Chains A and B, each alone.
Chain A
């Protein structure tokens, strides 16, 4: 095949829109991020992180991020795919420990306590920092046993009555109890996607964590199920500190107090959510939230 056979190899034949898009993407890659703009630190944070680096093998995934998460606040993390936001989230309850090639450096503090200190038990940490995943992952057990799983594990209920009470309360707070109260002993895997995700949230709050991490919790759900989960997040933020990774900027705008924009392993900008979405300071943030790339 000759080069003439390929259509549109001549740059002048490109449409203006395509040219603009190319330029934006090039600009996105060219801009160097030296320092996080905005306000990464808050007074009396629930979680504070300083100079975080994460590597998968030799490949850096996160480069020098410092960020605080405020008490009883919702922090949203946005950014294009592969920017490191999920990796950062998984550092906060040491889930990355289960990946053999992953190496985490930096200072992480939960209520001022170093969570990567040599004596720290990641298992205990995870009972304080719960996590909800992208894909609903109920255990192949009954709805009741799903919620009771962590409670039994940590011995939080003294007897059956107390366990029943915790299960009911958690399901109520997740907004699921009325839908499943007659089916508590049916398998959790039989619920719809949105119900499964609320079951996973109920399971997480049943052990009464201090922080809840959510990794794109609504990306597998339809808009109605998403709206229910978002309502739930706002409600939960009264008692819990929440960090959420999301691909939906509308979702970040709706549920979060502060928003952090990640780009290629770096934290570009953090600020109050209304300020990020109205007056972004960094050109990358502006390009991303106005939908010019990503």
Chain B
């Protein structure tokens, strides 16, 4: 039995268990008042069937392939057993491929088996492999279904009016939620550690001091020993300044525009305008960044260059300014939406208090509403900043790839994220410094955005304390 029909069968068994449990509980509770209502008994039977059976299916499916491979390899002739590890794994792959082929074609070339060369051995191994796999499938189905049946019988047996089925279901559901949360957390931890270890591998090639404080970035290294190529220099400072320059330009655009539109929407706009304008502004955040990218590259960047040249200033056709401006437009919703929410959340009674002291509307906004909402606004700005720092596509298209150490917004610069993309695309050995540098950059980026996120969380929490 294949895995999918097996899982469906287990599901059906659990469903049957649910109705059986419910029915039995209902019958049992006609005389005595039951602790839990019948459907909780049903859920308990179903969950007790479903979860262990599915766990068995999962573990078996993950483990079976390596167990079977090991079994087959153990039966191979001695001359193959004595081969070096790399050749042995090559042979293992060969018979596995053959097994797949045979499985698909449903045809076993018998004449090949009769010959006595290594192909014949491989065919024999493949056959053995297929045989064992089928056996494992059958065993898996048998074990799972009998386990499920046993569990249904056992849990149905336990259905009694005094059984605290409701509490047990509660506990099981709590457990499922803990498992879900753990998966999310463990994935994050796993990603962080994999990035960390690869970055440490990079620092074996390049000293951390050179990476952190070096001012020259040129990651081209020779792929082969006899190739003429750059020796590679990995100073991250130009990337960091590029990132910060573009993010700063983006924030200079986004913070005033976002904040003022938030104030307008929250304080001045009529409800009609607000219901239209707010979603429209939030659409800005939904436009794919690649669309912003070609807008920046094809419209904004040439416009900036022409304008600069008309003033007699030389400008690169790919400039930090173009990328920053467009990115600023993109992150407006992050500032405006969050600020709008916190400004609207400032209690009306504070505004009334200010009006009652003879303040005008703009005085009230400047002196009471904005200070009261400031922590939330700062949170929004920090969120927008981490979005800007992580942005890749607009920079690739509009700001170029040249790692220049410059603060001139009309020059072309590059950012950490853009360099990660270029480092990991193209042919390169995985353990070369060039590839590993991407992980070191990723780690750096992670540290920066994590710091910003922690900062904004902290600020937002402080704001909440003030009003609750």
Contacts and interface: CB of A to CB of B under 8 A. Distances in A.
Given A137-B347, A139-B350, A126 B356 contact: yes
Interface string B312-356: 000000000000000000000000000000000001011111111
Interface string A106-149: 00000000000000000111110011010101111100000001
Interface in A150-207: 150, 153-154, 189, 200, 203-204, 207
Given A124-B358, A127-B357, A137 B363 contact: no
16 contacts: A98-B355, A123-B358, A126-B356, A126-B358, A127-B358, A133-B356, A137-B349, A139-B350, A139-B368, A140-B371, A149-B359, A150-B358, A153-B357, A200-B353, A203-B357, A204-B356
Contacts of B356: 93, 95, 126, 130-131, 133, 204
Contacts of A131: 352, 356
A149 B349 CA distance: 16
Interface of A: 93, 95, 98, 123-127, 130-131, 133, 135, 137-141, 149-150, 153-154, 189, 200, 203-204, 207
Contacts of A123: 355, 358-360
Most chain A C-beta atoms within 10 Å of own C-beta, residue among B351, B357, B359, B367:
B357
Contacts of B353: 133, 137-139, 200, 203
Nearest to A132: B356
Contacts of A189: 466
Contact of B352 (A137, A204, A207): A137
A125 to B, nearest CB: 8
A32 B368 CA distance: 45
A150 B368 CA distance: 12
Nearest to A94: B355
B383 interface: no
A204 B353 CA distance: 9
A150 B360 CA distance: 11
Contacts of A125: 358
B372 interface: yes
A59 to B, nearest CB: 19
A193 B29 CA distance: 54
B349 A126 contact: no
- Which A-B residue pairs are the 6 nearest by beta carbons? A127-B358, A150-B357, A131-B356, A137-B353, A126-B358, A137-B349
Nearest to A140: B372
Tell me whether chain B's interface is mostly helix, strand or loop, or mixed: helix
A124 B357 CA distance: 9
Contacts of A153: 357-359, 363, 367
B1 to A, nearest CB: 54
A101 to B, nearest CB: 11
Contacts of B357: 126-127, 130, 149-150, 153, 203-204, 207
B350 to A, nearest CB: 6
A132 B368 CA distance: 17
Contacts of B363: 153
Contact of A140 (B349, B355, B359, B466): B466
A139 B354 contact: yes
B468 to A, nearest CB: 12
A55 B225 CA distance: 89
A93 B363 CA distance: 18
A138 B350 CA distance: 7
Contacts of B367: 149, 153
A51 B351 CA distance: 29
A149 B352 contact: no
A207 B368 contact: no
Contacts of A139: 350, 353-354, 368, 371-372
Given A126-B355, A153-B359, A133 B349 contact: yes
A56 to B, nearest CB: 16
Interface string B375-413: 000000000000000000000000000000000000000
A239 B446 CA distance: 64
Nearest to B369: A139
B352 to A, nearest CB: 6
A117 B368 CA distance: 29
Contact of A141 (B347, B352, B371): B371
B358 A95 contact: no
Contacts of A203: 353, 357
Contacts of A137: 347, 349-350, 352-353
Nearest to B359: A153
A207 B355 contact: no
Contacts of A95: 352, 355-356
Given A130-B357, A133-B352, 20 more contacts: A93-B356, A95-B355, A95-B356, A123-B359, A126-B355, A126-B356, A126-B358, A127-B358, A133-B353, A137-B353, A140-B371, A140-B372, A149-B354, A153-B357, A153-B359, A153-B363, A154-B358, A200-B353, A204-B356, A204-B357
